[in-house]
Amino acid sequence: MNTDVTVLVGDVGGSNTRLALAGPEIGVTALKSFDNDSFTSLEDVLTAYRAQPDLPEFQGACIAVAGPVYGDEYRLTNRAWHGDANGLAARLQLPDGARMDLINDLAALGHALPVLSPGQLSSLRAGTQLGDQSLVVGLGTGFNVSLVAGTHTAGAEMGHADLPASVYRKLQTALGRDPKGFNTNEDLFSGHGLVRFHQAMSGVAIAGGAQLMQEYQADSDSAAAHTVETWAELLGLFAYNLVPTYMPGQGLFFAGSVSRALLGSSAQMQFLEGFSQGDGLLQEQCQQIPLWVITDDAAGVSGSARVALEAVSGVNNPS
């Protein structure tokens, strides 16, 4: 086994890109974050990282992207960036024959689950672990999930699927009218979805989710508080629906900026209340599922590192 291997790893979201080096000896290091609005393409972000002085030659790379990956091609869901592995390898100046892997960003978080430390997780509910399946649920600029079954991780694009009927009915009751514009999971359960939901609830436009959470925390009787707590309950009911769909006996793991902000606040009480409202044949099993929040925003980079190092040298557990 070659312990001198160095690979480039990354996690590309709708708003930010995180890139780092990884290797058997160095673990994950030299992490840098880039604001995507400052670049015109992912290739340009890679060029900016590659321009740092004294970087070693890369023996491979793995980039996780917030969007579908088909073979060697990628397309971000919430940004007009697309391309293929060959173009990224060229920008990184990878040597001939080096691996350039592309994976979905939620799949990267799935690969990261086995190496997450207690400091990177927060427990919402202990539950009882069953089987070998887990589900990562990402709420940020967009929405998506990834199923982890043993050592296998599956990508998906669930953000573009229709809302479950039970969630749609509860949304309709909350708004008191037909919830036009909230047809898909991502229409409601994303940062943009939360902002749009507040406007639909209150009739007042707001700059962004961060402002909404600040107003909620400042005044528990405000319109913002009503929005956040109602939305958290809807999210809980939606999460309940994910359990019979994916059977994640090892737990639901929530990731992304919106997950951290909402479930790290007192609104987690409304979330848990919504989760307990589900019914059906599997209700008892659903209520035993452990619920977690991934608190480390860069955890996906560790998942990319596991994929890249396993591909290059058989190493799959960087510290």
Which residues are registered as beta bridge partners of 100? 61
pLDDT at residue 277, rounded to an integer = 83
- DSSP-derived 3-state class of residue 143: strand
Identify which has the larger pLDDT, 196 or 157.
196
Quote the percentage of the chain above a pLDDT of 70.
Answer: 96
* Model confidence pLDDT, tens digit, residues 66-86: 888 988 999 998 899 999 999
Sign of the Cα pseudo-torsion (50, 55, 58, 62, in order): negative
Chain-centre distance of CA 307, in angstroms? 17
Nearest to 95 by CA among 3, 8, 2: 8
pLDDT band at 314 (very low <50, low <70, confident <90, very high): low
- What pLDDT is attached to residue 38? 97
Task: Assign 3-class secondary structure to 90-118.
Answer: HHHCCCCCCEEEEEEHHHHHHHHHHHCCH
Q: Which of 72, 17, 4, 7 is nearest to 43 (CA)?
A: 17
Three-state DSSP at 9 gives strand
Percent of residues, the chain, with pLDDT higher than 90: 78
Asked if residue 227 lies in contact with residue 197, where contact means CB atoms within 8 angstroms, the answer is yes
What is the predicted pLDDT for the residue at 304?
95
pLDDT at residue 53 tops 50: yes
- Residue 1's pLDDT band, with cuts at 50, 70 and 90, is very low
User: Residue 319: which pLDDT band, with cuts at 50, 70 and 90?
Assistant: very low
Written in H, E and C, the secondary structure of 63-90 is EEECCCEECCEEECCCCCCEEEHHHHHH
Opening angle at CA 261, ends 258 and 267, nearest 5: 110
Contact between 117 and 167 under an 8 Å Cβ cutoff? The reply is no
**What is the pLDDT averaged over residues 236-246?**
93
* More confident of the two residues 120 and 155: 120
Task: Look at residue 311 in the predicted model and tell me its pLDDT.
Answer: 87
* CA gap 61, 98 in Å, rounded: 8
Read off the pLDDT of each residue in 266-284 and give the average, rounded to a whole number: 86
Q: Which residue's entry shows tokens 């991934």?
A: 294
Structure tokens at 310: 């396993």
Domain boundaries, given as residue ranges, for the chain: 7-105+298-313, 117-294
> Residue 3: its pLDDT value, please?
62
For residues 10 and 63, the answer to whether their CB atoms sit within 8 Å is yes
Cα 193 to Cα 317: distance, rounded to the nearest angstrom: 36
Least confident of 1-15, 25-39, 125-139: 1-15
Q: Kindly report the CATH class assigned to 7-105+298-313.
A: alpha beta
Residue pLDDT, tens place only, 130-156? 889 999 999 998 899 999 998 888 878
pLDDT band at 281 (very low <50, low <70, confident <90, very high): low
pLDDT, position 25: 82
Please compute the mean of the pLDDT values over residues 21-26 and round it to a whole number. Answer: 89
| Fold assignment, 117-294 | Hexokinase; domain 1 (3.40.367)
Element (H, E) at 147: strand 143-149
Give the SS3 label for residue 307: helix
Q: Is the pLDDT of residue 248 over 80?
A: yes
Residue 146 · residue 165 · CB < 8 Å: no
Structure tokens belonging to residue 243 = 């359990």
Average pLDDT, the chain: 92
